Each structure stands twice: as C-alpha cells, then as structure tokens.
Structure 1
Amino acid sequence: MEWRDLNYQETYICPVCRHGQIAALTLMDAFACAFCRHIFTSNLQEQLIHVEDSSQPMTWRWNGHNWKAANQLDVDLTIVVWLVGLALVLLPPALIWLSSHTFPPMRGSTWAWFPTVWISLTFGAHFTFVAWLLAEHYQVPVYITSKIWLREALGRR
C-alpha cells in the first residue's frame, strides 16, 4: 500500500467509528462520515482532521495509511475522570458492606444472603454506569459502532 496525502478528492476510513468512509462535503473544506455522520474540518498542510460535532475535542493525523490520535488529552481532567469513576464504583458497595457488617443479619435467617447479593448488584450497576461514561468520554470506536448499529436496527437515523 503506497503512501498518500490527505486531500479532498479521496475517501478515508472514519477515525471515530472505524467503519464508515469519510469523504469531502461538496463546496466545503470539510469531510463527513457516511456511517456515523460526524463532520470533520481539515488542515491539509499538517495532515490533520478535527471532529466538529462532538463535545470532545478530538484530532487525528493522517500518516499516509491510517489515522493517529493527535490531540493530547488534558491530564488533569483524565485523572479527575478516573478518580470520580473509581469512587462511584467502590464507595456505594463499600457503604453497603460496612452497614451489613455493622448490623449483620441473624445467622440462619432466610434473608442472610441478601447483603451479599445487594453488594454485588450495587457494584455491577455502578461499574456498568462508569464503563458507559468512560466509553462516551473516550469515544471508543467499538462503542460508537455498536451504538450506530443499534440506532439503525431500531429504525432511527
């Protein structure tokens, strides 16, 4: 496969969903994906594209064959996101565990199993919620593709 410059005459794999093709929009200096419908502005001199219709500032550099992430994530924000996610996953089950060990159920009672199940359900629910938020924050390509396929399967575009 030969090296090729980023230009408006060719199509490229979408860096967001990694499924669709981006092509130039007519009469505009921009690209759009036919699958996920994201719109990108470009800097052809630096071989960069930037997604414009997302709340996350994402930029990719074309290296002649594929896209490489060019934006540097804000380290302070990344640490905060991970710390808040960790707290949301660990604190609620820890509080339930603490209360179930402070006031344990009577041994042999029919509901003695309930605190363990409640702790597990709380951990699972909070872990799922935080995983979804992280997938939205980092715009994971597998997540974006599955979200688009689900939207198309339900008949909404």
Structure 2
Amino acid sequence: MTEPTQRFDGKSSARSTLDRRTLNLHETYICPICRHGQIAELTLMDAFACNFCRHIFTANLREQSIHVEDSSQPMTWRWNGRNWQAANQLDFDLTLVIWIVGVILVVLPPSLIFLSSRLVPPLEGSTLDWLPNVWVGLTFLTHFSFVAWLMVEHYQLPIYVSSKVRIRQWLDRR
C-alpha cells in the first residue's frame, strides 16, 4: 500500500495526498476478488497470483488492467492508481434472465406443492395432516438456498470468496 506523502509548494502549507502509482509487475496490490490477499508477480510470467484466494490474473500494463484467468466468469479490473475498478460491465440481458430464472426456481415448486395440497387436502385429524405445510416450507428453503448459492457464485462476492478460502484452509489444517 502507498503511504501518504507531503507536498510543499510556495503558496500553501503541507498537504497530504496519496501517491498514484502505475500498475507494474514488480509491486504487490490488494486482490480485487477476495480483498484480503495480495497479488504479486508470478516468476517469469506477465501475470499475478493472489496469496490468499490463489486466483491467477494476466496483466495488461498498457491498459493498466488485469483479467482473472482461472474462473469461468470473465472478470477484468482497471487500476486507477490507488485501487481497482471493475472494467467489465455485466450483460444486462443475461443478468435479467438469471434473476428471472432464479425467482421462478424459488417460487414455482413451492407454489405447485401448495396448490396440490389445497386442491387435494389431507383428511382432517389424520396423523400426517401437517406434512403438506412442512413440505412447502422445506421446498421453498431448499430452492432458495440453491438459487442464493448460484447467485453468489455468479457474482463472486468478496465475502463469499474469502469465506470459501478460509474454510478450505481450515479443512486443510485438520
């Protein structure tokens, strides 16, 4: 990380500003995916690797950008001199389709089970008359968990990535 520097000029007193630095292969930067590790140069390559989440990035020094290579998602970040900014814009049509499919997967199965349990209800006073309500709830929770996991995998949220790495490290120690 860069340290604040003092700049002196004849008209004003000391001002602290953060140094802007260009992207180069000989420095370390915070990882744009997990935001916990540091990315550093891979020996004999024009690439970076994170020491925490182990992602590999190729560097484009002319455009001041990096691209993750070991992920199915095409993610690119630009270095603005102080931090990373996402360079790839998500395709709005694809994002809308993913959200619509996710809502359908969460709402439709429990709705079908609820509708069938209301059209053909269990006998009053039977020992399993509670089962349709529990089945609807379990179906909703299961489908919601599945879709939430897929969304977090798709968007690669930093807290999810860092949690996944920490769990893997904890399991490796055991």
TM-score (norm 1): 0.93
Q: 2:119 aligns with which of 95, 102, 105?
A: 102
Shift of 1:104: 1.2
Instruction: Give the equivalent residue in structure 1 for 2:67.
Output: 50
Instruction: Give the equivalent residue in structure 1 for 2:165.
Output: 148
Q: Give the aligned length.
A: 156
User: For the residues of structure 1 that align with 2:129 and 2:23, how far apart are their CA atoms?
Assistant: 64
User: For the residues of structure 1 that align with 2:43 and 2:26, how far apart are their CA atoms?
Assistant: 11
Q: 1:33 aligns with which of 47, 50, 56?
A: 50
Is residue 145 of structure 2 the alignment partner of residue 116 of structure 1?
A: no
Overall identity of the aligned pairs, in %? 69
Instruction: Give the equivalent residue in structure 1 for 2:39.
Output: 22
Instruction: Give the equivalent residue in structure 2 for 1:66.
Output: 83
Q: Deviations over 1:72-118 (max 9, x none)?
A: 11222211211111111111100100101101123333322221111
User: For the residues of structure 2 that align with 1:123 and 1:62, how far apart are their CA atoms?
Assistant: 42
Q: Deviations over 1:120-151 (max 9, x none)?
A: 11100100001111111111111111111111
Aligned residue type for 2:40: A
SS in 1 for 2:114: helix
Runs of 4+ in 1 over 4 A off after TM superposition: none
RMSD: 1.3
Q: Which runs of 5+ in 1 are unaligned?
A: none
Aligned residue type for 1:76: D
Instruction: Give the equivalent residue in structure 2 for 1:138.
Output: 155
Shift of 1:7: 1.1
User: For the residues of structure 2 that align with 1:61 and 1:123, how far apart are their CA atoms?
Assistant: 40
Higher alpha-carbon deviation: 40-49 or 118-127: 40-49
Higher relative contact order (CA 8 A, sep 6+): 1
